[in-house]
Structure 1
Amino acid sequence: MASPSFFFFFLLVTATVAAVILCPPAAAAPKEHLVTGLPGFHGASFPSKHYAGYVTVDETSERSLYYYLVLSERDPATDPVVLWLNGGPGCSSFDGFVYENGPFIFEPGSSPAGSLPRLHLNPYSWSKVSNIMYLDSPAGVGMSYSLNKSDYTTGDLKTAADAHKFLLKWFELYPEFQSNPFYISGESYAGIYIPTITDEVVKGIKKGVEPRINFKGYLIGNPATDADYDMNSFVPFAHGMGLISTDMYEGVKITCHGTFWGNVDSLCQEKIDRVHWELKDLNKYNILEPCYHRPDIQEALFANSSLPLSFRRLGETDRPFPVRKRMAGRSWPLRLALKYGHVPTWAGLGGRSLPCTNDELATTWLDDEGVRAAIHAKSKNLIGSWELYTARKDFTHDTGKIVLYHKKFTSLGYRVLIYSGDHDLCIPHPKTEAWVKSIGYKVVDRWRPWFFEDQVAGYTEGYDHNLTFLTIKGAGHAVPEYKPKEALAFYSRWLAGETF
């Protein structure tokens, strides 16, 4: 006769087998999305695994969003999962992958001319401390697409809803990451994308939508937020940085009564246009960096100006476009977007290319069919050429006051970091700091420098409810591009919950 301990052991084994059958272990990442190699990279192996592919958010039109995931080089099982979004609206997040915080540094290929770029490991990739995923959003941007072109008529709210659908399906594909802390990050017009996506995520969490996203907060660089702050900052910042004379500043300030954007009279608008004209040859995305404006772009920028045509054409040149490393980027007509709602494309404004931008390396690489096959992206025959900033979409800015979103999420306990490159003339940091202060929280860490390698790297101020503002000294609109070491430093510290 068997002993009681044997029966107990038998029952335990039986129960364990039944549990495994009824509740099998979570599936691993989809093998068909694994990236096993990349044209242009000749290293022995990647420091961590890469996955890429499509998630369909609408079966009827086959509206599909493309992602590229780089697992953490440290501990992918426990490190945060961070979503990265470039702005625009209409900029591919491969912008960030190629030129900012991605796993590689891209260099021009050797002869013959036109060969693929060479890829070297980036020592300051954000994958050093996190699983980072680059998402092309909305459909029609980058590698994302729809078979129904009417899907390319969209706006902030539809973009946010689609991104939430994407995340839910993505976490079903990658159940091993459902318990990891999840953050959303990005820059520029992602200042609109991220709060609206967060709203969808938070509402889903409250409703108990599965899979449950372990959302912890977000960080946004040089964010488009509120026109009354963002657009009113251009003239005072230009004067503060020594880009226009005190006489010019005082003249426009008196004429415009301190308001430099919006429904102003014709005399005020003319003075504002003159300021823009004086700064037309600057790289507005980093005033320390070189820039080249082609005449057709100048014509597009000033097409609706109140300045006389003869004045607008002063200084036009016919210099050939230089072949060089991309300088700035993230060029989007934000003033028009926030003023009128509808966001025109550069093609619609009459320009043939983006100001301050040479995206040759990214375009050469991403338009190569061998690269597309390696990263599981659709061919050019189906979805067209890759574009840094696409003219395919018809986009409308259709949200309310974004500052209210930030107050809502911080009051709910989510962590928020707003950071600014302090030489960005597109969205100058003083007005970003101003709207952060306008939320009304108590200062718990007064304005002070933060350090990297024993040098002042910028300044920071902390507020109640896990809200932090940070500047990066010498950086422009795209902080990780201009200050990669410092960017990885503050990113790592913030994710770890450390002070700056």
Structure 2
Amino acid sequence: MANSLFNIIFVMNTIISIPLCMVLNSEFLEAAPCEFLITQLPGFTDKFPSKHYSGYINIDGKNLFYYFVTSEKNQSNDPVVLWLNGGPACSSFDGFVYEHGPFNFEAGKQEGSLPILHLNPYSWSKVSNIIYLDSPAGTGLSYSINSSHYTTGDFQTASDTHAFLLEWFELFSEFVSNPFYISGESFAGIYIPTLASEIVRENGAKPTINFKGYMVGNGLTDDVFDGNALVPFVHGMALISDKMFEEAEAACKGKYYDPDESCVERLLPIYNVIEKLNFYDTLEPCYHKPNSSTSNKNYSRLPLSFQQLGMSSEKPLGVRKRMFGRSWPFRAPVRNGIVQSWPQILSQYNDEYSVPCTKDEVSKAWLNNEEVRKAIHAEPIHVSVIWELCTDRVNYTHDSGSMIPYHKNLTLQGYRVLIYSGDHDMCVPYTGNEAWTRSLGYKTVDEWRPWLTYDNQVSGYVQGYDNNLTFLTIKGAGHTVPEYKPREALDFYSRWLEGKPI
């Protein structure tokens, strides 16, 4: 009788093409994601436009948290997209809350109260199924009871995320045939090519992921290209004078990534004149916490000299030899391969940890509310600790080197790649991404031109290369493109996923 009932349920589920979700005894629940279905969210009183699921998948003792939004258009045929924020160790709820998630979050009427949620007309779930994943373990709502799991690097993170995807597609098996893409921003410029390579290398794994390509926004790629990008950018944006630029060029000879002492002398005045800008978007004001010492703090106090960087002047590591993500600015260094996070740097000055220029009170109020956690199947605070936009719990080593060989290998195998950049981001300037994409030497198949959105307005510029590689700028956008230009972001995202010209 039980088998007959299961067969009937299975056939019904196949016909209506939704994940099997029934409250039955445990022998059926093992085959169904019913327990992960979200039925209500504190702060939201409207009707969900599509189904939402969330929960944990355990990978070797690491509990990785995801939030899955099915497409509002056609979940059966639309792509499945994995979204990863940067950092390292910045939560993908950054993208969910502030960028392209299904809701817009309005701050609560009183301080500390829950935000009010409204439907986001520019959500990327309008045209795709999208998974927001907190990775690696220790990030956001992902956790482990074994603190040694918080020591990781590029290769381990890629392996864990690939294992997560295999488990996820096993659970949500109806989506296994959908086209699959990876997307993210900032330090996800490291996460994404390493994960894509892991998927391609392990293509015999089951279930078989229908991987088609990836898109990276204002992403890290290569120490030299990224490290040399800032000075030409700030000069081109009229943030430094011709004289300052010419003196830096003469002293550094275009080699800003690994400067000698005479070069550093010319870089310090440049840093001094741009230090008060919002380096995630030079057009936007820099937010400071009320009643906080950060309101009068300038971040030039962060490591700039050889001594502050923990290096000798005889063999400098370089003022800009660093990795950074959503919250790590252009001066956060790498020491002996270990990525220095803001909490680790600020602790040297006895400063309270605060991501510069970034206001995250809304996300903190929502994700640290126990009723919200219960609704999204997240562990309470005493188990998975307080949610932070970016955390210092993770000891991360950038161990995979330059991403250029990864990009070249993947594009030559036919995978589609979109590299997009907000053109007012000073954290990972577009100049670096434009330079490395060009350096691949691919034939130009779509010469540099403006791309248009609504009202026939120029929204940025695009250059198309052979081997399915596209470079795109978004006019007036900062580091987190959909946060600053949500309408334009949905436009190019939709067109690219559909294979249409941008």
State the TM-score, normalizing by the size of structure 1. Answer: 0.87
1:488 maps to which residue? 490
Preserved contact between residue 155 and residue 399 of structure 2 (Cα < 8 Å): yes
Moved more, 63-72 or 273-282: 273-282
2:448 & 2:303 partners in 1: Cα distance?
41
Preserved contact between residue 92 and residue 137 of structure 1 (Cα < 8 Å): yes
1:72 maps to which residue? 71
Secondary structure (helix, strand or coil) at the match of 2:421 reads strand
1:439-468 CA-to-partner distances (Å, cap 9, x unmatched) read 111111111110001001111011111111
Q: Residue 36 of structure 2 is aligned with which of 22, 33, 38? A: 33
Greater gyration radius: 1
2:172 & 2:81 partners in 1: Cα distance?
14
1:409 & 1:370 partners in 2: Cα distance?
43
Q: How far off is 1:338 after superposition? A: 5.4
Q: Residue 222 of structure 1 is aligned with which of 218, 224, 230? A: 218
Preserved contact between residue 287 and residue 359 of structure 2 (Cα < 8 Å): no
Q: Residue 270 of structure 2 is aligned with which of 263, 270, 275? A: 275
Secondary structure (helix, strand or coil) at the match of 1:202 reads helix
2:231 & 2:468 partners in 1: Cα distance?
31
Label 1:189 to 1:218 Cα distance change in 2 as closer, same or farther (>3 A).
Answer: same
Question: Counterparts of 1:321-470 in structure 2 under 5 Å?
Answer: 330-333=326-329, 335-337=331-333, 340-350=336-346, 351=351, 352-453=353-454, 454-470=456-472
Preserved contact between residue 248 and residue 266 of structure 2 (Cα < 8 Å): yes
Amino acid corresponding to residue 71 of structure 2 in structure 1 = S
Label 1:69 to 1:199 Cα distance change in 2 as closer, same or farther (>3 A).
Answer: same
2:305 & 2:396 partners in 1: Cα distance?
26
1:5 maps to which residue? none
Preserved contact between residue 419 and residue 470 of structure 2 (Cα < 8 Å): yes
1:306 maps to which residue? 305
2:260 & 2:210 partners in 1: Cα distance?
49
Q: How far off is 1:75 after superposition? A: 0.6
2:287 & 2:265 partners in 1: Cα distance?
24
Label 1:455 to 1:254 Cα distance change in 2 as closer, same or farther (>3 A).
Answer: same
Secondary structure (helix, strand or coil) at the match of 1:216 reads strand
Secondary structure (helix, strand or coil) at the match of 1:254 reads helix
Q: Residue 243 of structure 1 is aligned with which of 239, 253, 256? A: 239
Aligned residues: 454
Q: Residue 115 of structure 1 is aligned with which of 94, 113, 116? A: 113
1:274-295 CA-to-partner distances (Å, cap 9, x unmatched) read 2112111101111000004676
Amino acid corresponding to residue 280 of structure 2 in structure 1 = Y
Preserved contact between residue 337 and residue 397 of structure 1 (Cα < 8 Å): no
Q: Is 1:132 matched with 2:130?
A: yes
Label 1:337 to 1:69 Cα distance change in 2 as closer, same or farther (>3 A).
Answer: farther
Q: Residue 181 of structure 1 is aligned with which of 179, 182, 200? A: 179
Secondary structure (helix, strand or coil) at the match of 1:487 reads helix
Q: Kindly, what percent of the aligned residue pairs are identical?
A: 57
Moved more, 348-357 or 453-462: 348-357
Preserved contact between residue 87 and residue 330 of structure 1 (Cα < 8 Å): yes
Preserved contact between residue 303 and residue 331 of structure 2 (Cα < 8 Å): no
2:276 & 2:244 partners in 1: Cα distance?
18
Preserved contact between residue 461 and residue 474 of structure 2 (Cα < 8 Å): yes
2:89 maps to which residue? 90
Preserved contact between residue 332 and residue 341 of structure 2 (Cα < 8 Å): no
Preserved contact between residue 273 and residue 307 of structure 1 (Cα < 8 Å): no
State the TM-score, normalizing by the size of structure 2. Answer: 0.87
Q: Residue 150 of structure 1 is aligned with which of 148, 151, 165? A: 148
2:300 & 2:91 partners in 1: Cα distance?
22
Secondary structure (helix, strand or coil) at the match of 1:56 reads strand
2:171 & 2:403 partners in 1: Cα distance?
31
2:232 & 2:330 partners in 1: Cα distance?
18
2:500 maps to which residue? 498
Q: How far off is 1:267 after superposition? A: 2.5
**Alpha-carbon RMSD:** 2.1
Preserved contact between residue 37 and residue 54 of structure 2 (Cα < 8 Å): yes
1:354 & 1:303 partners in 2: Cα distance?
13
1:148 & 1:191 partners in 2: Cα distance?
27
2:29 maps to which residue? none
Label 1:135 to 1:436 Cα distance change in 2 as closer, same or farther (>3 A).
Answer: same
Moved more, 376-385 or 291-300: 291-300
Q: How far off is 1:411 after superposition? A: 0.6
Moved more, 340-349 or 430-439: 340-349
Q: How far off is 1:307 after superposition? A: 9.5
Q: Residue 253 of structure 2 is aligned with which of 240, 247, 257? A: 257
Amino acid corresponding to residue 44 of structure 2 in structure 1 = F
1:271 & 1:339 partners in 2: Cα distance?
23
Moved more, 245-254 or 64-73: 245-254
Amino acid corresponding to residue 281 of structure 1 in structure 2 = K
Preserved contact between residue 333 and residue 345 of structure 1 (Cα < 8 Å): no
1:47 maps to which residue? 49
Moved more, 270-279 or 130-139: 270-279
Q: How far off is 1:128 after superposition? A: 0.2
Secondary structure (helix, strand or coil) at the match of 1:183 reads strand
Q: How far off is 1:235 after superposition? A: 1.0
Q: How far off is 1:330 after superposition? A: 1.4
2:280 maps to which residue? 285
Amino acid corresponding to residue 448 of structure 2 in structure 1 = W
1:166 & 1:83 partners in 2: Cα distance?
11
Label 1:349 to 1:148 Cα distance change in 2 as closer, same or farther (>3 A).
Answer: same
Q: How far off is 1:333 after superposition? A: 4.8
Preserved contact between residue 186 and residue 217 of structure 2 (Cα < 8 Å): yes
Preserved contact between residue 281 and residue 292 of structure 1 (Cα < 8 Å): no
Q: How far off is 1:248 after superposition? A: 1.2
Q: How far off is 1:345 after superposition? A: 2.1
Secondary structure (helix, strand or coil) at the match of 1:417 reads strand
Q: How far off is 1:431 after superposition? A: 2.0
